[in-house]
Structure formats: structure tokens, C-alpha cells
Amino acid sequence: MKSSIEHLVLHIGSDKAGSSAIQESLVTNHDWYANRGVFIPQTGITRAAGHPHLFNGLDDPEMRQSLIAEARAARQPTAVLSWEGVHFFDDGPRKVLRDLLDKAFPDARLTIVYYVRNQVDLVQTGVLQRIKQQTLTPSAVADLNRPLAEIPLRSRKLLDGKNRYYTERISAWERTFPKATLEVRLYDRDRLLNRDIIDDFNQVLGLETDGECARATRSANTSLCAEAAVVLAGLTNQVWDEDDQRRLIDSVLGFKQGTTAFLHDDVRDSIVEQFADDNAALVERFPHCAGIEKPHSLPRPGLDPDTIAACERFLLDQLQFPTLLQGRLRGTDLGRVNLVEGWAEPNDRGVWTAGPRSVLRFRPRGMHFTGFTKHVALEFAGKYSGGYRASHVTVNGHDMGEIDLLSTQLLVDIDMLDATYNIELTLEHPPPKRVRPRGVASTDANAFLIRLLAYSVE
């Protein structure tokens, strides 16, 4: 069967240039795009990262065959593939990709979409992103807040910009795909259509965003600020457990008073000078990229101590160090559960609710989510006491009503989750009853014992 796809749009990034928002829109609005003639392949897709599994599995016969089969079955004239990591590909992987695209979309003209961003801004946001992802220690922010000559060797390598010479990247892609059309755009909110990356990308597809195109209810990629990184640097030296560090990071993401600008002026100026000629050449060829020469973030004399102190207070308000439960369901690791408030002291039997309102919070592993995840299924083991047979359940502010948590799974819709997929459960058991199960010292109402909490992503 011959594919009906006439136009393939390959979005290659770059990173920290709106890619996550674009990719989440492609998944969230899958039907909206399909109804307007745009096909989004499901092969290798995730919710907010595009098609990383596809592009990382180009040599996988099953992955290749899956894409080819999807393309042949598609009935829309346009298809979109996206992953920001693609723009880092060297000649070898690009040629393998070309071979696959030729087989899957043999008659389609190719448009390569490449959003670029000033390199100073990329360094800063990239460092903060890696800290958030726990692939870089938070102390890197303080290191890069020093003059260039004083930056420790461990952090100096973060300034390596060999893959940030955009004209070289573009030339490499043109060598591999000489017939492709290059659509190079500046990622700057003041330059985007309607100051919105989704509207801008839809324009590339020849579409106009309307009221039926769902806007994300949460940020696809919530940013960490520099002041938060400084606070984390002090705390992570005391918190060695990786899951507890993850919880610290998730808790501080809600602090919105900080900045992403932290490079010392000396470092900032050296980066601007390093890429000046390449950026000038880029603008000469793509005039609408004018403005890339200047960082969007303003220079700063240093990180503000008052903002750092405010971030510390914010984190203390948000965070209570957890009592931990562990559980498994069909091999899915639950990880850590934070008993926020309203719980008795845990013992070897589990943990009882204490009082009329009990709150717990946990974060499923992000790697378990795919682009078409519909919900998270929660399963409890334990028992009710004192005449209680159900709990009034609220999930991230959404009232779920009265539920017997021991007889049914609690299905949490994916759209109820926040930017980092945290789940906060509030269990209410009014009116309070003075029932104290054996071995529990609390004098508050003990309505529900949790022995196990587990989840699966479906």
C-alpha cells in the first residue's frame, strides 16, 4: 500500500527552544491535527519529548517496520516527527535516518524545522535543566557565577559549545538532505507568532490555532530558577538518597520569583564573542533570526541574597521530610511516598490515618509515561476501622467522591497531574471517631490503615 503522505515535517530542536511544548501539543491534540490533515506517528512517541525512542532506535528492525507500516496506513497528506536530540546527530546517524525516511515516506517532500536560541541563554537554561533532571549537581550555578578564570574545571566543560555553531549544524543537515527545505526560526517569545511556540509551529504546518486546539493545562517543562539551584546545592549535600533529592527538586519548582540568568558577566561576554561570527552568518542567510546576537536574559551583578532567602522559606513551607512507604505492583516501583499531614506514626503493620484529613504525595517514575498514557491506576492494601468503609478522595484538587479504596482501583486521569507528574491524595474520614487500633499511640481518629500503595501506568 502506497503512503498518502506528501509532506514530512521533521522538527529537530534545538533543546531549550520550546520543543517540549510542541511535542506535548502534538500528543494532546492528536485528533485535532489529524482532522486538519496532519498525521502524528505513534511509533516511539512520548508525551512531552516527541519521538526519542524512534530516533534512538533507528537500527531496530521492529521500530523501523512500525513506522513504515504507520506511514502506509496514514490518510493525511502531512506527517510530523519531532525530537530535539536529532540536531546533535553526526553524519552516520543522519544517513541511517535518511534511509528510514526514504522507505517510510518515499514520495514526501521534506521540511526540516530548526528553532535556534542565543547561546548564552542556552547555556543557562541547559544547566538548570540538567540540575532538574539530576544529571548535574546544583553547585554548577555557583561555579558559573564566578569570573571565567575562577570557574572550576568540573564546570568549565559546561561552556563547551561545539554543537552550538548553527551554520555548521545546518550545513551538515543540508549535506545529508540536499533536497530538504530548511525552516530556521528564532526562539524568542517576542518574535514568535502571538508570542506562542505552538501558534508559531502550527504556522509552519500551514495551520491556524483555534479554540479546538487544547492549550496545555500545565507547563510541559517547568523551569528551575538559579536561586533554587543555590538552595538545592546546600541541601543535597545533606540528603544523599536520590529519591529524596528528587522530591526536593519537585518541591522547589513552584518558586516563581527567581531568574534563569546567573552567568558572570565575564563568562557571558566570552560566549557572545565566541559565537559572534557564526550568528552573524546565520542572520545573513536567515534574516528573520536577527536578534540571536544578543542574549535575551539581562546581565546580573550576582544572585540576589534576598531571593535566595525567599526560596529557602518557600521550600520549608512546601516540604516536610517524609515517612516512607515502599510498594510494588506488577513490577512497577512506587519509590517514595511523602506523608504530608494527618498520619499516625508508621509501624511494621503500615500507617494509619490520624484525624479527619490525611494528605500524602508521591511522584511516579517519569519513564513509565508514554505519549498515549491515559491514567495512573492506584491500588491500596490495608483495612478500614471504626465503622468506616470508604474515604472521601481528592486528587490534586479534583474531587473524586466517596471511594472504597480496598475494593477498587483509583484511576487518576493524566490531565490531573502537574508538570512533574506529582500525585497528591487527600483522604477525608468525617466525622472523626475515637478509635485507637492496637499498637497505635495516637489519640486522633484512625479510620484507614495503608499497608501498601502501588501504581501502574495505563
Residue 376 lies in a domain: yes
Read off the pLDDT of each residue in 441-448 and give the average, rounded to a whole number: 65
Whether the predicted pLDDT of 270 surpasses 60: yes
Q: Which of 141-145, 171-175, 216-220, 234-238 has the highest mean pLDDT?
A: 171-175
* Residue whose C-alpha cell is 500528543: 27
Asked if residue 35 and residue 141 are part of one domain, the reply reads no
- For the record, the C-alpha cell of 184 comes out as 530556521
pLDDT-wise least confident of 182-191, 277-286, 341-350, 434-443: 434-443
Which is more confidently placed, 30 or 221? Answer: 30
- Identify the domain boundary among 296, 318, 340: 318
Q: 285-335, pLDDT tens digit by residue?
A: 999 999 999 897 766 666 888 888 888 888 776 654 333 344 333 333 444
User: What does the pLDDT read at residue 25?
Assistant: 93
User: What does the pLDDT read at residue 331?
Assistant: 34
Read off the pLDDT of each residue in 366-388 and give the average, rounded to a whole number: 76
Whether the predicted pLDDT of 136 surpasses 70: yes
CA separation for the pair 405, 412 (Å, rounded): 13
Whether the predicted pLDDT of 444 surpasses 60: no
Residue 337 lies in a domain: yes
Asked if residue 130 and residue 201 are part of one domain, the reply reads no
User: What does the pLDDT read at residue 370?
Assistant: 59
CA separation for the pair 46, 239 (Å, rounded): 31
3-state secondary structure the chain: CCCCCCEEEEECCCCCCCHHHHHHHHHHCHHHHHHCCEECCCCCCECCCECHHHHHCCCCHHHHHHHHHHHHHCCCCEEEEECHHHHHCCHHHHHHHHHHHHHHCCCCEEEEEEEECCHHHHHHHHHHHHHHCCCCCCHHHHHHCCCHHHCCHHHHHHHCCCCCCHHHHHHHHHHHCCCCEEEEEECCCCCCHHHCHHHHHHHHCCCCCCCCCCCCCCCCCCCCCHHHHHHHHHHHCCCCCHHHHHHHHHHHCCCCCCCCCCCCHHHHHHHHHHCHHHHHHHHHHCHHHCCCCCCCCCCCCCCCHHHHHHHHHHHHHHCCCCCCCCCEECCEECCCEEEEECECCCECCEEEECCCEEEEEECCCHHHCCCCCCEEEEEEEEEECCCCCCEEEEECCEEEEEECCCCCCEEEEHHHCCCCCCEEEEEECCCCCCCCCCCCCCCCCCCEEEEEEEEEEC
User: What does the pLDDT read at residue 334?
Assistant: 41
Residue 100 lies in a domain: yes
Whether the predicted pLDDT of 341 surpasses 80: yes
Task: Name the domain count of the chain.
Answer: 3
- For the record, the C-alpha cell of 446 comes out as 484512625
Read off the pLDDT of each residue in 406-412 and give the average, rounded to a whole number: 90
User: What does the pLDDT read at residue 288?
Assistant: 92
Asked if residue 269 and residue 291 are part of one domain, the reply reads yes
User: What does the pLDDT read at residue 329?
Assistant: 33
User: What does the pLDDT read at residue 346?
Assistant: 79
Asked if residue 422 and residue 446 are part of one domain, the reply reads yes
In the chain, the percentage of residues whose pLDDT exceeds 90 is 55
Residue 174 lies in a domain: no
Asked if residue 208 and residue 136 are part of one domain, the reply reads no
Asked if residue 297 and residue 439 are part of one domain, the reply reads no
Which is more confidently placed, 349 or 311? Answer: 311
User: What does the pLDDT read at residue 170?
Assistant: 97
Whether the predicted pLDDT of 169 surpasses 90: yes
User: What does the pLDDT read at residue 367?
Assistant: 44
**What is the overall mean pLDDT for the chain?**
85
Whether the predicted pLDDT of 82 surpasses 80: yes
Q: 212-262, pLDDT tens digit by residue?
A: 998 765 455 678 899 999 988 877 656 556 766 777 788 888 788 888 899
Whether the predicted pLDDT of 120 surpasses 90: yes
Boundaries of domain holding 75: 1-117+187-218
CA separation for the pair 77, 70 (Å, rounded): 13
Read off the pLDDT of each residue in 340-360 and give the average, rounded to a whole number: 86
Whether the predicted pLDDT of 98 surpasses 70: yes
Residue 450 lies in a domain: yes
Residue 172 lies in a domain: no
Per-residue pLDDT band for 387 (boundaries 50, 70, 90) equals confident
Asked if residue 426 and residue 307 are part of one domain, the reply reads no
From residue 449, alpha-carbon distances to 54, 66, 334, 388, 410 in Å are 44, 46, 18, 11, 16
Single pTM value for the model: 0.71
Asked if residue 194 and residue 67 are part of one domain, the reply reads yes
Residue 173 lies in a domain: no
Q: What are phi and psi of 122, to 5 degrees?
A: -65, -40
Q: Which of 33-47, 206-220, 315-329, 355-369 has the highest mean pLDDT?
A: 33-47
Do residues 158 and 127 make contact, with C-beta atoms less than 8 angstroms apart? Answer: yes
Asked if residue 237 and residue 142 are part of one domain, the reply reads yes
Which is more confidently placed, 366 or 153? Answer: 153
Asked if residue 193 and residue 243 are part of one domain, the reply reads no
Residue 355 lies in a domain: yes
User: What does the pLDDT read at residue 325?
Assistant: 40
From residue 161, alpha-carbon distances to 11, 49, 109, 142 in Å are 21, 23, 32, 20
Whether the predicted pLDDT of 380 surpasses 90: no
Asked if residue 111 and residue 10 are part of one domain, the reply reads yes
Asked if residue 312 and residue 212 are part of one domain, the reply reads no
User: What does the pLDDT read at residue 326?
Assistant: 40
Read off the pLDDT of each residue in 173-192 and give the average, rounded to a whole number: 95
User: What does the pLDDT read at residue 320?
Assistant: 44
CA separation for the pair 366, 48 (Å, rounded): 11
Whether the predicted pLDDT of 165 surpasses 70: yes
Spatial CA neighbour of 113 closest among 6, 7, 14: 14
Whether the predicted pLDDT of 405 surpasses 80: yes
User: What does the pLDDT read at residue 332?
Assistant: 37
Read off the pLDDT of each residue in 33-49 and give the average, rounded to a whole number: 92
User: What does the pLDDT read at residue 204?
Assistant: 96
